[in-house]
Structure 1
Amino acid sequence: MANELELKYGCNPNQKPARIFMQDGSDLPIKVLCGRPGYINFLDAFNGWQLVRELKAATGLPAAASFKHVSPAGAAVGLPLTDTLKKIYFTDNVELSPLACAYARARGADRMSSFGDWISLSDVCDLPTAQLIAKEVSDGIIAPGYTEEALAVLKGKKKGNYNIVEIDPNYEPAAIERKDVFGITFEQGHNNLKIDSEMLSNLVTENKNLPEEAKRDLVIALITLKYTQSNSVCYAVDGQVIGVGAGQQSRIHCTRLAGNKADIWHLRQHPKVLGLQFVPGLGRANRDNAIDVYISDECEDVLGDDVWQNFFTLRPEPLTAAEKKEWLASFTGVSLGSDAFFPFGDNVERARRSGVSYIAQPGGSIRDDQVIETCNRYGIAMAFTGIRLFHH
């Protein structure tokens, strides 16, 4: 290992020189096994590694994350997939290890946003996980190690130029962290806050029933938010993130954005979507685009007679607004985390439309009573954590 690594350029090609290095002169805790990762790649890698490491510590399960532009598009732990999830994640008839399940879930949360992502794994990358990654468009991966078989598969991506980074799992950062903005150095303590189910004990709503599965999903949502550009809101269910709203100035816009992504995740499981007949040989990215258009309100405008046949062997029957509403109304049990307090009850109203039954947020708004009243109206259980999770 070395204490610095020269990069091709910074955030943009005009930002040179660029490097990552250890200020104390010690060796970097990473090895580049293949490729030449860039500045943003490493930002995604180090944020993603922290996220999956904490998910595993909190749940005891292998974890994976899919990052784009320093925010997670998806994150998950390694729970088995249902037959429906296997189909919408394109993993039918594929051997899936627990780590591969975690990656399939993380990638499948928001497949449009995960196109060209950076992957983070909590465990040594095994062959089943590498074989899934080989089929997807991705910029690179960070993990604490790779089996020989997995490494051989990954080195075959991008004509041998796929970015593969190995990180020392025992590395711990310094207690104080710094960064420069406009030539001025900022300094703060590293955010070593431990997130677990104990911070969900302050249930402020009439409904105080918080099942173990909901606690797990709320913890997953909160840990994900810890590494998401603020303002941010995260929806999670069944051990995985299904919608992230990141970097919005308004909290209701976070809730809407994340809720819309969660709705798309739900709608991908509709029988009409599962029954779509694609043109043989259609690539995964084109399938994702076709599904996204089919689900959208603009489907009839976009899929004209001269377009639909490029994607489908048979012109699909439209998924009507009434069918979408009915399908989405059938989902409940979704957990939602917010990195700061809800200032108004409108966030709860929007969250409820995407199946949210459980909420964790810091509390502390002058309108907390209004937010609690809105939860009570719909039987939603809400915990005040007392902890803000801003990340910039």
Structure 2
Amino acid sequence: MCVRRSAVKLRYGMNPHQSPAMVEPIGTAPFTVVHGHPSYLNLLDAIGAWQLVREASAGSGTVAAASFKHVSPAGAALAGPIHPVTARLFGVDQSTDAVTQAYTRARDTDPKSSYGDMVAVSAPVTAELAELLRRVVSDGIIAPGYEPGAVAVLSNKKNGTYLILQADSAFAPPVEEVHELYGLRFVQRRDDAPLPGGLSADLRLALTTVRYTQSNSIVLVRDGATLGVGAGQQSRVDCIRLAGTKAQLWHQRRFIPVDGASELTSVQDRVNAQLLLAETIDPPVPLQEVSLASDGALPFEDNITEAVRYGVRNIAEPGGSTRSDVVAEAARRNDINITHTGLRLFRH
């Protein structure tokens, strides 16, 4: 089935009782449906995830991947080395191809939340990635292409209902975005403002990820991969606590070998066993050298106090609040480098 210039019926809307539902492209659609029948939320996750990996890949010059749930990333990453514990957990070789590296690192951010995710990768899906996806619980994928055999493997997932979308890498979205809700039509310019120059690779990935995360949001990154995403909180300090708690658990999991769970054949069973054990230990070294991005200005010093607990050393946030100078001074006192981007990245 090809989504092009005519409306396509969806399985249902946000909830099963919201039916009928459909999607109608404005001109040429940004993807083709290769296999499966999408739902409303599948497509919201897919287009958000695809924009994230497309932007992250362009900004880094390497392959990017994201694991999306409920219109926010559970994790995002660039291709890079896979931690030995992570490699054993997911049953991948550390020398695997770049697209499999990127997705493994993205899903490893918060594998509990990634259960049943929508996957996005910036490069064609390889046989190695298809094999990994065959073994994890996932609802669908969007990618710019598929190597021979990959679609056949994926189309057998979920009793043949796995959603496979092929993104149009050349698609240019309209300048204006329109959202109709409760009898009102909201029109705004698409959020296409470039990120500031001179940022570290980790801060750039953190800002790109936070741009596609439901506000309020905080993203923690180290070595080209997210460690924790705090999304959709009314209080910004709660966003930091949520992202930091996930990052701390990510760190604790580095010290839990999964060899003892080798009898558990399911990846998710191994993940669950590792999570339970990780919550019971104190790592021999603290979490360090973490970069933090905030979609809005940090309003109070308590944000810095929380950030210090999770090893944050670099922050990118818009600045411009009435207390930005006070917050910046608190950061300096704690040996944290803070960059005011002048760019708010709210997403609702």
Return 349-358 or 189-198, whichever deviates more: 189-198
The corresponding residue for 1:295 is 278
Q: Quick check: 1:58–1:196 contact (8 Å CA) kept in 2? A: no
CA distance in 1 between partners of 2:275 and 2:165 (Å): 32
CA distance in 2 between partners of 1:84 and 1:61 (Å): 23
Shift of 1:83: 2.5
CA distance in 2 between partners of 1:193 and 1:91 (Å): 39
CA distance in 1 between partners of 2:96 and 2:17 (Å): 42
The corresponding residue for 1:114 is 114
Paired residue total = 345
Q: Quick check: 2:84–2:94 contact (8 Å CA) kept in 1? A: no
CA distance in 1 between partners of 2:299 and 2:58 (Å): 32
Shift of 1:137: 0.3
The corresponding residue for 1:190 is 190
Any residues of structure 2 matched to 1:61-210 within 5 Å, and which? 61-88=62-89, 90-93=90-93, 96-198=96-198, 200=199
Is the aligned partner of 1:14 residue 2:17?
Answer: yes
Shift of 1:359: 0.6
CA distance in 2 between partners of 1:61 and 1:250 (Å): 34
**Structure 2 CA distance for partners of 1:257 and 1:369, relative to 1, 3 Å:** same
CA distance in 2 between partners of 1:275 and 1:44 (Å): 31
Per-residue Cα deviation, 1:302-350 (whole angstroms, up to 9, x for no partner): xxxxxxxxxxxxxxxx53xxx34x53x2x31110000011111111111
SS of 1:159's equivalent? Answer: helix
**Structure 2 CA distance for partners of 1:190 and 1:141, relative to 1, 3 Å:** same
**Structure 2 CA distance for partners of 1:38 and 1:292, relative to 1, 3 Å:** same
Shift of 1:196: 4.9
- Percent identity over the alignment? 42
CA distance in 2 between partners of 1:253 and 1:7 (Å): 35
Shift of 1:364: 1.3
Match for 1:385 among 323, 329, 341?
341
The corresponding residue for 1:254 is 239
**Structure 2 CA distance for partners of 1:197 and 1:83, relative to 1, 3 Å:** farther
Return 147-156 or 41-50, whichever deviates more: 147-156
Shift of 1:360: 0.5
Shift of 1:278: 2.1
The corresponding residue for 1:40 is 41
Q: Quick check: 1:197–1:216 contact (8 Å CA) kept in 2? A: no
Match for 2:315 among 352, 359, 372?
359
Q: Which has the larger radius of gyration?
A: 1
Q: Quick check: 2:92–2:132 contact (8 Å CA) kept in 1? A: no
CA distance in 1 between partners of 2:130 and 2:94 (Å): 12
Q: Tell me how large the CA RMSD over aligned residues is.
A: 1.7
CA distance in 1 between partners of 2:14 and 2:87 (Å): 36
The corresponding residue for 1:210 is none
Q: Quick check: 1:95–1:128 contact (8 Å CA) kept in 2? A: no
TM-score by length of 1: 0.84
The corresponding residue for 1:229 is 214
Shift of 1:276: 6.4
Shift of 1:159: 2.4
Unaligned runs of 5+ in 1: 201-214, 297-317
CA distance in 2 between partners of 1:240 and 1:275 (Å): 21
Unaligned runs of 5+ in 2: none
Shift of 1:95: 5.3
SS of 1:148's equivalent? Answer: coil
CA distance in 1 between partners of 2:140 and 2:244 (Å): 28
The corresponding residue for 2:266 is 283
Return 111-120 or 13-22, whichever deviates more: 13-22
Q: Quick check: 1:127–1:147 contact (8 Å CA) kept in 2? A: yes
Q: Quick check: 1:197–1:219 contact (8 Å CA) kept in 2? A: no
